[in-house]
Amino acid sequence: MAKKTTDGNQNDLSKLSFEEAIRALSQIVEKIEGGQVPLQESLEQYEKGMRLIAHCRQILQEAEKRIAQIEEVHAGEKASACPDEAEREALAREIDEEAEEEFGPEEEEDSDWMKG
């Protein structure tokens, strides 16, 4: 019969938000540290605290996965917004060709004036 209570508590714990679970865990710690709780109840509270910790860790892991997904999407958007090296070179050649058509071929500068 105690198993049903444990399973019921587990289901109840899974419904708690991260903040609610942390508050419940803090209350358990206060009770146990106060020393006014009988040994059996302390053990039960300790077990509940361990389940709360596992629940909080699961929530944090899910949050980390979500953050990683958001970062991947953002990195993908950023990468698509910035042309890669090949695209930049092609764009530069296109601009050079258009400038040559409009203004004629680029003349080589005479660098003799720089030498003397």
Record the pTM. 0.57
Q: What is the pLDDT of residue 89?
A: 78
Tokens 């980390």 map to which residue? 64
Residue linked to tokens 């077990």: 47
Share of the chain above pLDDT 70, in %: 70
- Residues 16, 55 contacting (CB under 8 angstroms): yes
| Per-residue pLDDT tens digits for 42-73 | 999 999 999 999 999 999 999 999 999 999 88
Rounded distance between C-alpha atoms, residue 91 and residue 12, angstroms: 60
